[in-house]
Structure 1
């Protein structure tokens, strides 16, 4: 796992740590925050209700023995979205590399809404343009990102101002 953690650090992650999937917390309230607090709910293939439920996510997590938690600090800046897209591309590339290296169950969960298209094809009943790149977010699958980060020794807090630096987390399921 060290090889992949090192690659992610070179690719923009601030931290990468091997964790046990049992340290990842799922909860029904997380999905409710998407449904009743996010304007993106139901507007993309990578958002609820098109993502696994917290219960389904727990079952998936329980079928793995290893995972890697990635942390990235994203400052408030004009090119913030470009920064996210570059980082997420690196992680999906890393997932592909891990698969080729024999980790056939490798699967990455990203952070926040999909940022690949300005408007998701779902809204026009069209298929996804980037099936090879789209991945659901941890929170969209019912993962309590705050508690999961804290369980693994990372810092995270809610933002009180839009201008603050985001501490974002992504999870690679490995095995």
Structure 2
């Protein structure tokens, strides 16, 4: 991918939008709030609890997420109201980022509570 902005990481914002994301932005990882209530909310009320690697108890714990976020300084936040599209976009962007030399690129997907609620 040829950089239009001079910063290849910034170009991933444009790619996410081109792929169908409603919004995309680069954020500092130290601004991400991690809270225990999210795990509990999923445990009691999410029809996907325990069904796959994306949901508790298989998803990263609060402590694991805090530790992982400290290994990064920036993240690309992607928004889409379509969970299936969001997953495809995030995984494609992760792959592109790795090909661009961002070898630590790692996609994490979070869906709105309404998609997992019973």
The interval holding the TM-score normalised by the smaller chain is: 0.7 to 0.9
Task: Report which stretch shifted further, 43-52 or 58-67.
Answer: 43-52
User: Which position in structure 2 is the counterpart of 1:30?
Assistant: 38
Q: CA RMSD in A?
A: 2.0
TM-score, length-scaled by structure 1: 0.56
Alpha-carbon distance in 2 for matches of 1:28, 1:91:
24
Alpha-carbon distance in 2 for matches of 1:41, 1:14:
27
Aligned equivalent of 1:69, options 77, 80, 103: 77
Q: What SS class does the counterpart of residue 90 from structure 1 fall into?
A: helix
Q: Does the aligned pair in 1 maintain the 2:13–2:25 contact within 8 Å?
A: yes
User: Which position in structure 1 is the counterpart of 2:107?
Assistant: 108
Runs of at least 5 residues in structure 2 that lack an aligned partner in the other structure: 1-8
How many residues align? The count is: 107
User: Which position in structure 1 is the counterpart of 2:19?
Assistant: 11
TM-score, length-scaled by structure 2: 0.81
User: Which position in structure 2 is the counterpart of 1:91?
Assistant: 90
Deviation at 1:15, TM superposition (A): 1.3
Q: Deviations over 1:76-126 (max 9, x none)?
A: xxxxxxx532332122011011111110000111123xxxxxxxxxxxxxx
Deviation at 1:44, TM superposition (A): 1.7
User: Which position in structure 2 is the counterpart of 1:40?
Assistant: 48
Runs of at least 5 residues in structure 1 that lack an aligned partner in the other structure: 75-82, 113-144, 146-157, 163-175
User: Which position in structure 2 is the counterpart of 1:149?
Assistant: none
Q: What SS class does the counterpart of residue 107 from structure 2 fall into?
A: strand
Alpha-carbon distance in 1 for matches of 2:14, 2:100:
16
Q: Which has the higher helix share?
A: 2
Alpha-carbon distance in 1 for matches of 2:78, 2:88:
14
